[in-house]
Amino acid sequence: MENKAITIKEIAKEAGVSTATVSMILNNKDNNISEATRNRVLEIVKRTNYIPNTMARSLVTKQTRTIGLILPDITNPFFPEIARGAEDRASQSRYSIIYCNTDDNLNREDTCIDILSEKMVDGIIFAHSADRGRVGGVKRCRVPIVLIDRDYQFPNVIGRVLVDNKKASFTGVNYLIDQGYRKIAYIAGSINTMTARDRLEGYKEALKERNIPYKDEYVRIGEYRSQWGMEAVGALLDEKIDMDAIFCGNDLIAIGAIKELKNNGYKVPDDIGVMGFDDIYLSGIVEPALTTIKQPVYEMGYRAADLLINAIESPEESENSVDEDTIILETELIIRESTKEGAKK
């Protein structure tokens, strides 16, 4: 015969406190409760293997202690690292995360937002697929949103965690020029976000500052995938574009670019240097190892969850705030063997 699950009333009776006191302790709202009382309640909870009824609790607190995380491409190693950071921060406050992958599809993105709303999540961390003319599912959403990696003007946004993509791209291209490269191609991903457009602007500004003419034929726009890197390099070579370096919109593109250059008999970096963006784990093990712009990916996820949880648990402060919280994290140049200086080390 199964043992009957213990109730919060039984825990309160054994501990000699009210059910409200037990509830406050279980919900980490026990600042005014003595350490002795807290420890006594938690000891009973642990000994009896008490599992809170989250559905019942949500009816009282109007919170489910769940967060939605919407990502555009979970197969890109950049985004699982964001998810790990968000999950670690959520776990610290006993929140769980529901993941949604949109495959860079706006309709699927709207569906994900609607599903998360139906699941009554307390808030959403959102890396959107593309800037949009229609607000769609975001307009129907009634919970706070923190944007991550990609910026846009959406309703209900209470914070953003970003990097300065224009500055990072400018730094990367300037580094290539400092290494003696002058004919630098740029292989971009989708240009449908401010993030991507800022990286392209950084590329253009670096060339302009160093008196190197910008040429449209040196720029290719496609997808953030290795296959696109291969296809773009193949097209550049077929068109006999005279290039000595390639700056890439992310590391996956750069890895594909290196593979295609090798397939065509080019040595990296002796013939053509290659630089990526993100510093995903693959960038250090590809041959040659990839020079890249490192984003603090784990921290992005962690800080986004921190912003969101603070807003959920202190809604009065969020409502009274005039400005949205915007966190701009620093990037870092990582020098490896796919450019001249790194190859000499």
The CATH number that applies at residue 12 is 1.10.260.40
Angle at 303 between CA 300 and CA 305, to 5 degrees: 105
What would the pLDDT profile of 33-55 be if each residue is shown by its tens digit?
Answer: 898 998 999 898 888 877 666 54
- Containing 76, the helix (H) or strand (E) segment is none
Same domain membership, residue 134 and residue 260: no
Domain-embedded: residue 132: yes
Residue type, 97: I
At 99 the pLDDT is 94
Of 237 and 151, the structure prediction assigns the larger pLDDT to 237
Assess whether 287 and 186 both reside in one domain. Answer: yes
Query: Nearest 5°: phi and psi at 88?
Result: -60, -45
What is residue 52's predicted lDDT score, i.e. its pLDDT?
67
Decide if 344 contacts 311 (C-beta within 8 A). Answer: no
- Are both 146 and 226 inside the same structural domain? no
So what's the pLDDT on residue 1? 32
Task: Quote the pLDDT of residue 322.
Answer: 44
* Between 282 and 105, the higher pLDDT residue: 282
Helix (H), strand (E) at residue 223: none
| DSSP string over 122-157 | SEEEE--SS--SS-THHHH--S-EEEESS----TTE
Tallying the residues shown for the chain, one arrives at: 345
Judge if 89 and 197 occupy the same domain.
no
180 and 286 both lie in a single domain:
yes
Establish if 2 belongs to a structural domain: no
Same domain, 337 and 206: yes
pLDDT confidence band for 3 (50 / 70 / 90): very low
**Residue 220 three-state SS:** strand
Question: Same structural domain for residues 147 and 90?
Answer: yes
Question: Residue 17: inside a domain, yes or no?
Answer: yes
Domain housing 16: 8-52
Average pLDDT (245-267) is 97
**pLDDT band of 62, cuts 50, 70, 90:** low
Query: Do both 95 and 139 map to the same domain?
Result: yes
Alpha carbons 65 and 143: distance in angstroms, whole number: 13
Q: Provide the token pair at 107.
A: 């309709």
Would residue 282 count as lying in a domain?
Answer: yes
pLDDT in tens, 71-110: 999 999 999 999 999 999 999 999 999 999 998 888 888 8
Examine residue 106 and state whether it is found in any structural domain, yes or no: yes
Q: Which residue has the tokens 């500004």?
A: 205
Percentage of the chain exceeding pLDDT 70: 87
Please report the pLDDT score of residue 4 as a whole number: 59
Confidence of residue 241 (pLDDT cuts 50, 70, 90): very high
Residue, of 2 and 140, whose pLDDT is higher: 140
pLDDT exceeds cutoff 80 at 155: no
What CATH number is associated with residue 94? 3.40.50.2300
Q: Which residues pair with 66 in a beta bridge?
A: 96
Within-domain flag for 225? yes
Q: Let me know whether 98 and 211 are in one domain.
A: no
The phi, psi pair for 19, rounded to 5°, reads: -65, -30
pLDDT at 176: 97
Of 132-136, 154-158, 160-164, where does mean pLDDT reach its minimum? 132-136
Which pLDDT score is estimated for 2? Answer: 42
Across the range 266-274, mean pLDDT stands at: 96
- Are residues 260 and 316 both part of a single domain? no
Report in angstroms the alpha-carbon separations of 246 from 3, 81, 194, 264, 271.
66, 26, 21, 15, 11
Residues 289-312: what's their mean pLDDT? 96
Same domain, 190 and 290: yes
Residues with Cβ within 8 Å of 46's Cβ and at least 6 positions away in sequence, in order, are none
Q: At residue 57, does pLDDT exceed 60? A: no
The neighbour count for residue 12, using CB atoms within 10 Å, is 18
The mean pLDDT of 138-146, rounded to a whole number, is: 80
Same domain, 239 and 136: no
Confidence of residue 212 (pLDDT cuts 50, 70, 90): very high
What is the pTM assigned to this prediction? 0.80
Domain count, the chain: 3
Q: What are the pLDDT digits (tens) for 101-138?
A: 998 888 888 889 888 988 889 999 999 877 655 555 66
Position 3 in a domain: no
Q: Give the pLDDT of residue 20.
A: 85
Structural domain includes residue 255: yes
Task: Round the average pLDDT of the chain to a whole number and report it.
Answer: 88
Q: What is the pLDDT of residues 326-337, one digit of tens each?
A: 999 999 999 999
* Residue 9 vs residue 202, higher pLDDT: 202
